[in-house]
Structures are given as C-alpha cells and as structure tokens.
Amino acid sequence: MYNITYYHKLIINKEITIAQNERKSIHGQWSSKVLFIFAATGSAVGLGNIWKFPWMAAENGGGAFVIVYLASVALIALPIMIAEILIGRRGKQNPVNSLRYLSKEASQVKVYEVDHDLNRTKQTKYQHHNQEDYTNWELIGWMGVISGIIILSFYSVIAGWTISYIFKSFSGLFNQVTIDGATSLFKKFTSDAERQLAWHTIFMFMTCYIVSKGVRGGLEKAIKFLIPGLFMILLILTGYVTTLSGFTEGLRYLFLPDLNKITASVVWSAMGMAFFSLSIGMGALMIYGSYLSNKFSIFEVTSIVAFADTFVAILAGIIIFPIVFTYHLDPTTAGPGLIFQTLPIAFGSMPGGETFGTLFFILLFFAAITSAISLIEPAVTLLIENFRHTRAEASLKIGFVTWLVGIGTIFSFNYWQDVTILGMNFFNLLDALTSKVLLPLGGFSMAIFVGYLVKRRTSVAELKMSQSMYTIWRVLIRYIAPVAVMVIFTNGFM
C-alpha cells in the first residue's frame, strides 16, 4: 500500500534515494587503509597513554587498575570503537549529520505494493515512517562536540608542559637531577601561570593552524614518522629502566593485581581511561571513519589501533614505575605531574639523556597534536557543514573558546589551587566530567544506537566480518558493553 506523499518525499530526499555505495564523503577520503590506521592511531596515542595512564594507574592501585583497564578495552571499548567508526563511515559527514543519516536510514520500513500481474505483493522501496524518530540521536554528536572542546581545553595545557620540557631537556636542566630537583622544577613551572599560558596559546595556535588547512595534508605526513619514532624512544627508555634497582618492584606493582584494591571507583576510573585512551565516545573516530573508504575492514583497522594504543600505555607504565620505586616516590600522591617528575631523572642519569630527553618530549608533543586535531575536528566540521563556516573561521572560533576554557586549567595549578567543586579543582573536574561521564555516556549511546536501532543488514554490510566474529561483536555491543557501562557508572557514582 503506497502513500503518494511519502513517495514524493523519498524522491526529494536525496540522501535516502542515493544508493549507499554511491555515497561519497563530502570531505574527501583517506588515500589508503594505512593512512587511516595512522590517523586513528595518531588520535588514540597521545598524552593519554604516556601522561595520564601511569598517573591513573599510580592513583588507583597499580595492577588492580591495569587489569580492569585491559578488560575494559577488550569488552567495552573495542566493540564501541567498531560501532563508532561504523557510524562515521556510513554517515560520511560530521557526527551530528552522520547520526541523523543513520537514524533516518534505520527508521525506514519496507513498503509493499500489490503486483496485479503476478497477483502477489512485492517489496518496492524503503521509506521512513516517523519523521521525529531521528532527531534525538544527533544529540550524541552534539555531546561529542562539547566533550571534545572540554578535553582539548586541558589537553592543550598539558601539551604546553610538554613543549616547555623539550627546552628544559635541551638546555641540560635534567643533568644529574635528583628527585627533589625534578619535583621542584615541576612545581616552579606549574606555579607560573603566565608561562603556561604562553605554551597553551602556542599549542592551540598550532592545532588550529593545522586544522584550518584541512586534516589530510598535515596529518598524513606527520604520523608516518611519529609513531615509529615514539616506539623507538620508548624501547630505549625501557632498556634503561631495566638497569634500575626498582625495576622488578615497578613491574610487580604494575602487573600483579592486588584484587582487594579493585573498588567501584578504581573500575570507574579504568573504564573512563579506556574511553579516553582509545579516543572513543566523542566522535573523533567517527569523523576519521567518515574519511574511510568502504573497501576496508573496520574490524581489522580497529584491532590494530587498539593494540598499538594499549601497547604504548603499558610501555609507559613499564618505564615510569621502576623510576617511581627506585626513587621512593609515593605513587598515590604524585598526580598529573607524575611523568614530569620521574622522566627527567631517567634522562638526567642515562648516557645520551639530553638528546633522548629532547627527542622524547618532541615526539610526545607530536603525539599530543595529532590527538588534539581529532579532538577539535568534530566541532570544526560541524560548523563547516551545518553552519556555513569556512575551515579557517571554524577553527578560529572553536580554537578561541577552547583556549579560553583552558585558562581555568592553568589556574588550577596556581591561583585556583584551593578552589574545589565536589572536592576537585577545575582541572580535575573537567577531566572527571569527560573521562568518567561524557565519554562513557557517548559510548553507551552509540552502543545502543548501533546495537538496537541500526538494522542488522546495515551493520553486517558495513563490517563484513566472519559470521562468528560478527556474532561475538553483536553480543558485546548489545548486551555486554552497555550493561557494563551502566553498572560501572551507577556503582561508581554511589
């Protein structure tokens, strides 16, 4: 039975009538699968792995945290990452539009028409039955845009610390530095708001400059040498820490979980860290997925990215904890300054440390900027595609707002040190709000969206997995991941 007005709408609504395989991304495509893997790895690997992971592990009981983290990556983050890239690749626009497109597509119903010649009904078209159905889901996209801006606001400040440490290392400040020396160097730096503001401004400026030139140009070139370079230096550092007296104690702390330490709050932090580290729940990978050609297997690229990301985080832990135990730092109180207080000691006492230290912070800076680009990209493409901005205007506007919010984080380490909301300073509040609330919520909604709303035939067609892998993924995305997120979230909250 066939409704003429709907039929008209179908014709007018190009998005629906253009066959999926003819749809091209309106903002171009990665030229190869390897480039997508590089870009997604560039987004995932960043300050999260090297700065935040050791700090979080230290604060949450070491091995207890690590084991829950690994479980969260495998059972929650990985299936959601697949779902997020799926939305992006099928939607092919900014997160808001991609979600809108997919929910329109999902709300289509089969329309049957009586074929009088053959005297039977045949399916003629898909049409969507309820215009209102698809407006709510784009909220995930909006939430992601906001999460990205909030994360980048403090991410940029920490990236600024990294730039400053390039110069500190280069000028020999770390030579033979003691634990007290490294700590006071760090404290002196963070108490200086103007200096941090300068680096924060420079970092935001560079990020916006690259983004205003379009993602593909700069990124594709930079990431090729960045990731291998970072691996190399981490391996060199790993070699160094094996010589430390606290090496085995460090490893034991990291890998031997004290199961009594697995509390609701540890689990919540570990899950949040998995979302943060893999860049999921806010649309960064959705955007990158929208540049991914239909030819490539989402599952394959996702596994590679998740593996690389986890590897770097664990390696960072293997490096930091032996230093912590060799120099008798209290891991529970070190906080976000952990790597800035421990690594200088390593560089200060290893042969060639000045060079390695400088190189390390340069690479960390690059790792930070490739993540920063993915944090701002959803907001920028939204302004371009939906609000008629040029790339330059969009980058400038979003960059300015982000920069402004970032000042609050700078102040958290000096002027506003003692100003707390819910027991947290401004920086800790933004960090907790994004990692522990917004990203899990975004990921949860994506799981529900792809697991229940998106038609099975759509996800089968997009993922092209083997039957058994698809079934495992589907169980994870429909039951395990969303239930786990909700349980962890409510337990943590209480």
Residues that bind ligand PHE (CB under 6 A): 43-44, 46-49, 151, 276-277, 279, 282, 284, 371, 374-375
C-beta of 435: minimal distance to ligand PHE in Å? 8
Between 44 and 226, name the residue whose CB sits nearer to ligand PHE.
44
Between 78 and 375, name the residue whose CB sits nearer to ligand PHE.
375
Provide the β-strand partners of residue 109.
127
C-beta of 69: minimal distance to ligand PHE in Å? 13
C-beta of 466: minimal distance to ligand PHE in Å? 29
CA–CA separation, 225 and 390 (whole Å)? 30
C-beta of 128: minimal distance to ligand PHE in Å? 31
Provide the β-strand partners of residue 169.
none
Provide the β-strand partners of residue 331.
none
Contact of 375 with 287, CB cutoff 8 Å = no
Point out the residue whose Cβ comes nearest to ligand PHE. 48
Sign of CA dihedral 6, 11, 15, 21: positive
Q: Six-digit token pair at 300? A: 């394959």
Between 177 and 282, name the residue whose CB sits nearer to ligand PHE.
282
C-beta of 151: minimal distance to ligand PHE in Å? 6
C-beta of 317: minimal distance to ligand PHE in Å? 14
Between 49 and 402, name the residue whose CB sits nearer to ligand PHE.
49
State the chain's maximal CA–CA distance in angstroms: 91
Q: Is 409 exposed, middle or buried (0-12, 13-18, 19+ CB in 10 A)?
A: buried
Between 329 and 372, name the residue whose CB sits nearer to ligand PHE.
372
Between 49 and 153, name the residue whose CB sits nearer to ligand PHE.
49
C-beta of 206: minimal distance to ligand PHE in Å? 16
Between 196 and 310, name the residue whose CB sits nearer to ligand PHE.
310
